[in-house]
Structures are given as C-alpha cells and as structure tokens.
A and B are shown apart, each in its own frame.
Chain A
C-alpha cells in the first residue's frame, strides 16, 4: 500500500483536487438553494408569486429539498466517473 501511494502521489493529488472542486461546486448550489433562496434572498424574491405565497417560501418548504436530492445523485455519478478516470474505483 505504502509503495503504491508514493508511486501515485501526483495522480493522487489530482484526484483529491478534482474531488474538492466538485464538492465546492455542489456546496455553492446547496447554499444558494437553501440559505439563499429559502432565507436570505426571500425578501428580494418576494415579488415572484408561487401558489398563494412567494418563491422564497416555496424554496424553504419544497424546492431546497429537491435540489439537495439532485445534488447528491449528481455528486455520486460524477465522483464514480472521476474514480474510474484516476483508476481508484473498486
């Protein structure tokens, strides 16, 4: 295992960097959908009506959850592809 690690150090770093980049993208979307649209930006978006309330209310009580779901599957699919690309899949 130890020898294997030193051999692959460069690709190991690149793999980890690819993972961190993907996580960063996902967490930005995660934050905007929940804390952004659902909370901090709600007053700014209050003009957009959604069924008896506004877009912020919809994001806080429905939309954010759907976005979370999409994100986790997106991450799993992309990450499995990255595993394969760097040859570290099981």
Chain B
C-alpha cells in the first residue's frame, strides 16, 4: 500500500477514535465540563496531563532543535520536566485543596479582589494565546506534509479541525480523549526511535543508544561531533558560551510549566490532595518516556541527515548527494516549502555546511562551494526522521498521526483554559453573574473562536520555531501566574495590591522585552532592536526573560504589600486551610 493511502487510514482511524471517546464521555454538568467531576484516577490523569502538556513543540519541534543545537537544547529537556517538581511541591496540592475550577478564581479569592481576578484572566489569555500560536505552527507543519500542501494551507486546515474538535469538548471529554492521544503519540514517537537506535547503535533503547558506540565502532556522540565539525558546524556536545542565558532560559521554562493554567487545571480534576501529588509524579513518568527518548532522536536524526547529504569525502567531486538522485522524502518536504535547495555553484550536487564559519568557508572556496545550499526548517526533523532512516511506511503514517495527536490535545487544553477564563471568570464571575449555564457555554465557544482566529493569523507569521514560540508563552506564565500563586500559598502577608502590581509588573516587563526583539504583537518588522545576542540585556534571550520577570513580580509584590495593610483575617485563615489536606473531599460539593 502506498504511503499516502496508509497515512490517511492511520490518521483517519485515530481521529475516529478521539471523536468516539469524546462523544461517549461528554459532559453533563458544569462540574464535569470544567473539572471532569473530580473523579479521575491519578494514573489516568497523569496520562491525560502528559498529552495535554506535550504539544507540537515537544513532539515535532524539540528533537529538531536538539538535532541542530545539541547540548544547548538541553534547556527544553530540563526546563519542561523540572517544572513538575515545582508543581508537585509548591502549587498542585494546595490548589486542589482550594477546590475551585480555574486559576483566576483562586487568585481572585485569595487576593479578595475582582481586579486581581481580571488581571489574572488577562495574563492567562496572553500566555495561552502565545502558546496556541506555537501549536498552530506545528499543526501547519504536520498537515502540510500529510496532505502534501503548502505549510500555510496546512495551517488553515489544521485550524478548522482544532476548532471543531475543541468546541465539542468539556474537560471530561477532553481528559478521556487525551488518554487515547497519549497512547498514539507515545507509540509514534518511540517506535521509530527504537528502530533508528537499533540501526545506528544496535541498542534497543534510544536512552542507552545515545551514549553507546555507533556501528562503526566510535561512540555515537564522538562521531557526531566529528561529522558536524568537519563541515564547519559547532561541536554537538560543546558547552554553552553563555551559561547565564541558559540558566535563565531553563528556569523560565521550569517556573512557566508550573504556572501554565492549562496544566494547573488538570490538578483540579483529581479526588484528593494526595492524588494531586501522585498525579504530578505520574504525569512526569509519561512525559519522561518521550523526553528521555528525544535526545537520542535528535542526535541520530542529525547524523542521518548529514550522512544522506555528504555521501563521500568532503571536497571530493562526487562527495555530495546529486540533486537528481535525491530521495523521496526530500521531494515530499520540498513541496511543503520547509526544505529548500538552491544550487549556488551549479554543480547539480547538494552542499550542506556552515557558511557562516569563516575558517570553513575558506576551505569551501577551494572546493568550489559557493555557500550552503540546503535550508532545513528545524520543525520537520521528527516527521521526516523515519523517512530519512528508510523505515517502513506504517511507521511514517503513525508518526503523522502522533504529531497531530500532540498538537490537537494541547490546543484543546489551551482553548479550554482560555474559554473557561472568559466564560467562568469574566462573564459569570465578574460582569454578568446572572447568566444561565447555556449562555456561559455560548461565551466559552465565542472566546474559543476568537482565540483560534488570532492564533491562526499569527501562526502564519510565527515569531520563531514552534518550540521557541512556546518558550515565550512559558516566559509569560513564569513572570505572571506562577509568582502570584506561590505567594498566595506560601505568604499570608502578600495582599491584593501587592499581587495586582506584581503580576502587572512581571508580565509587562516580560512582554516589553519580548516585543522589543520580536516585534510589537509579534508583527514582523516592528521590532525595535535586532534579535541578536549582542543586543540582548546581559545576553539573555527573550525566551529566557521570564525568570527576570518573575523576580520583578516577587519583588514588586513584597514591597507593595509591606507598604499597605495586611490581608483580612478570613483570608489568612483561607491560606491556613489550603495548606492542610484534610477536608478537600468536601470542596467537591460546593
């Protein structure tokens, strides 16, 4: 059976499964709609959280960034897993004890202020929309390859499907669908990784294969370092030139993970406080399966790509792949526009090397190479990987389904967080408390529609690769929501003024820093400074600024609080009560 047909069958079957489950588990009440009736077992919830949270950025984009940045991409590996430690110890159990539906609801109650609640809604919407943009880029990549269309068309088709998928939702439906999506995406990620690891190193586990010997006898990483440096690229395992930026970047992703509303609301769906702790652990188990596989996938994909293009000795006349003889995957990806070849020296062969390295360009001049001729969008690496490694067609079809599952599950979770913030916190909670349940749902759907249109528009002109856009969203969450939640639990002294000014100072400083380098509202060409390391404050990238934003948030909140009255007694008692697990079951009935 040819690849196209097989892909349609596998992707079609997975979609039918999700829709079937969503229909079977559809929500009957607002409790089920927002928090799945709080009846989800920690293992099941952990799996759903893993799918919710592992997005197109994790599935499609991350290994590509690892492949091209090597050690530098460790920020994603540590950042997106380490945040669960913070979540498990600093936020999840107490928020579950509090026992409401949304993050702004906690902030509004703890800081006894509807202004605080509205500011929290604004922060939540800003970071969730930024996050959805990253998803849309990923969805566009996956659909463009799968339907063999241009990446922009792919994005528009993807948008339509995500929209249809998300509005039927409700947390209960989403939770059970996400369990199925987790199974699809993890199989799709690990099966090709195992195949490739066997092929290159003979070891079954990519986690082990990465640190084993290549079939040629030298260790895989040593060989990779050599292959890339031979063509003028930076050494794969080399230490970073800017540890401060890497530190800030990792920290920003960690505290952002703990502050992302669509992750936090998962912890409202478990029955007990102790279950919230277990859920964090199980989530990380399911996430770690992918995250410990990713470094192997990245390194092996890079090695395979280099070997495909540079078939013989560097500089030899027949050392490079002839364009005419390029493999099928190459042709397929060319139609998406995400892989480009430009024959600069007119020899009909593909030269892929680092033409920004002056030393190597000098050598390349001798070979008659007139510049790098291959442009690879990092986001295609995972999807192209099984094809590059010549794996069977069913594996390739499965990877397409996995990428779509990852993007869809996260987009659904994010849209859920946005729409519940608008309908539950803004409309029902603040402006129009008397609306019926039906009207509340209508607002939820309109909010989803608006959010997805904005995200699709910006997804057409993304400010970076999927994982980098997502990193910005984490920075925004890190600078606004995480500090407010943490202070709400661990301090009895921080008051409403402190929280409001803290959140505003945190998110505005971070937004300002991002827009300065990425363009106002991410619109290309409107940036005030070129986005280069020399221009960055202390070399800190916009993606890494969330850490500074969080520090600003904490500092402002403490200073403002210490200058104004302490919170009322009943609020201090509320803080006491969320610190103790006893009585969380009762919160279900409210």
Contacts and interface: CB of A to CB of B under 8 A. Distances in A.
Contact of A65 (B243, B246, B291): B291
Given A51-B221, A64-B82, A76-B277, A90 B584 contact: yes
B272 interface: yes
A52 B243 contact: no
Interface stretch (B116-124, B128-136, B205-213, B431-439): B205-213
Interface string B215-237: 00011111101000000000001
Give me the 10 closest cross-chain CB pairs, A-B, nearest first: A51-B211, A52-B219, A52-B221, A60-B74, A76-B277, A61-B295, A72-B281, A52-B222, A88-B582, A53-B237
B288 A69 contact: yes
A90 to B, nearest CB: 5
B87 to A, nearest CB: 9
B407 interface: no
Given A60-B71, A89-B582, A90-B272, A52 B81 contact: no
A19 B285 CA distance: 23
Nearest to B490: A20
A35 B585 contact: no
B243 A40 contact: yes
A11 to B, nearest CB: 10
B114 interface: no
A62 B250 contact: no
Interface of A: 1-2, 5, 12, 15-16, 19, 23, 26-27, 30, 34-35, 38-40, 42-43, 46, 50-54, 56-58, 60-62, 64-66, 68-69, 71-73, 75-76, 79-80, 83, 87-90
10 contacts: A12-B579, A27-B85, A27-B89, A65-B77, A65-B288, A69-B281, A69-B285, A72-B84, A76-B88, A90-B272
- Is the contact region of chain A dominated by helix, strand, or loop, or is it mixed? helix
B211 A68 contact: no
Contacts of B207: 62
A8 B89 CA distance: 23
Contacts, number: 147
Interface string B27-55: 00000000000000000000000000000
Interface of B: 66, 71, 74, 77-78, 81-82, 84-85, 88-90, 93, 207, 210-213, 218-223, 225, 237, 239-240, 243, 246-247, 250-251, 272-274, 277-278, 280-281, 284-285, 288, 291-292, 295, 573, 576-577, 579-585
A83 to B, nearest CB: 6
B78 A60 contact: yes
Nearest to B211: A51
Contacts of B71: 57, 60-61
A1 B585 CA distance: 14
Contact of B573 (A5, A56, A66): A5
A4 to B, nearest CB: 9
A41 to B, nearest CB: 10
Contact of B278 (A26, A52, A76, A88): A76
B243 to A, nearest CB: 6
A64 B89 contact: no
A46 B295 CA distance: 19
A38 B579 CA distance: 33
Contact of A76 (B274, B292, B582): B274
A38 to B, nearest CB: 6
A7 B278 CA distance: 30
B78 A38 contact: yes
Contact of B581 (A71, A73, A90): A90
Contacts of B93: 79
Nearest to A80: B274
Contacts of A38: 74, 78
A8 B239 CA distance: 52
Contacts of B278: 76
B576 to A, nearest CB: 6
Contacts of A89: 274, 581-582
B281 A62 contact: no
Given A51-B211, A89-B581, 15 more contacts: A12-B579, A35-B251, A51-B220, A52-B213, A60-B77, A61-B71, A62-B210, A64-B81, A65-B78, A65-B81, A66-B292, A68-B82, A69-B281, A75-B277, A90-B274
B188 to A, nearest CB: 20
A15 B219 CA distance: 51
A53 B211 contact: yes
A70 B337 CA distance: 43
A13 to B, nearest CB: 10
A72 B88 contact: yes
A62 B299 CA distance: 13
Given A40-B243, A61-B77, A72-B284, A30 B85 contact: yes
Contacts of B247: 35, 39-40
